[in-house]
Amino acid sequence: MELRQLEYFMTTCEELHFTRAADKLGITQPTLSHQIKALENELGVRLFDRIGKKTMITEAGMILYQQSHKAIRSLTSAREQIQELQKVERGTLSIGALPGELNELASSLLIDYHRNFPNIRIKLITNEDIVERVLQNELDFAISILPVEHDKLAVKPLYREAFFFVTTANHPLASYAQINLEELVTTPIVMFPETHRCRQLIDSTCRNAGLEIKPFIETTTIDSLFNLVRSGIGATILSKTLIEMYHYEDLLIIPIVNPKLIREVGIVYHKDKYLGQAASGFIDLIISYINSIKKEEPSAYCDQASDV
């Protein structure tokens, strides 16, 4: 049984059509049929049932497909790890991040990462569809809001954090020690648009509580949001990560309760993707940064993952 035969076999399973599989492999259809027949003869079982123009995988074929997939994945991982040992400081690292604070988080670490890995070419992609790009193997990993559920994806939780009401000292609610979510319904609010995952979390929590917050200004840029709040035009709701990144001393942050606004952030990558030293180095930087903030404001963070 040769690795090439297994690759031919797996492609045929995925296409369920010998001609299409042969075209995808760049070989002739008779060559593919010969290789599949040789594999069947070696195993002593039929791998496909050919009924007219239809091709179906037999029970034995399904067993071989599942085990072949594991074997190919293991070999690919081994090849990547061996290659990395030979060129640990070369190559490209492609990172994805959701727009907003998660993109800001990744961007803030680029200088430190470059100092540690000066020969790694870095691509930071910001988009709402980063999970889909991970699935298409266009990214090594992505920083995303959890949960993310897909049988081809692996998740490494990073941290859980609270959201806060952010305003200036002259706001009518500035003296509050904490604010009920219901009180924000009638408060002038500046927020990210509905396409922003942070905004979606807030809207979802409000709906579950039978509430609706209608911002009178929406903006896609973080700088403009902070400028609007600092000018006194309105207040906003932001994650602890974003608040700490900008750290404006003229802004007040007040906990939101009944219910609290909590989100979980994690690393998302393809199960077949090997996270090498270059990727792990960036993840380590994220953890170090979160740890530094957590020491200063432990109440804002909880349940940080310890296995990343």
What is the enclosing helix (H) or strand (E) of 201?
A: helix 197-208
* DSSP helix/strand/coil, 256: strand
3-86, what's its fold?
A: Arc Repressor Mutant, subunit A (1.10.10)
Confidence band (pLDDT; 50, 70, 90) for 308?
very low
Do domains 3-86 and 161-263 share one topology? The answer is no
Please determine, for residue 307, whether its predicted confidence score (pLDDT) is greater than 60. Answer: no
* DSSP helix/strand/coil, 18: helix
Which residues partner with 96 through β-bridges? 125, 142
pLDDT > 90 fraction of the chain, expressed in percent and rounded = 52
Give domain limits for the chain.
3-86, 91-158+264-302, 161-263
pTM for the whole thing?
0.63
91-158+264-302 CATH choice from 3.40.47.10, 3.40.190.10, 1.10.10.10, 2.120.10.80: 3.40.190.10
Q: What is the pLDDT of residues 102-117, one digit of tens each?
A: 888 899 999 999 988 8
Instruction: Please state which of the ranges 38-42, 79-83, 178-182 shows the lowest mean pLDDT.
Output: 79-83
CATH of domain 161-263: 3.40.190.290
Whole-angstrom Cα distance, residue 61 to residue 45? 8
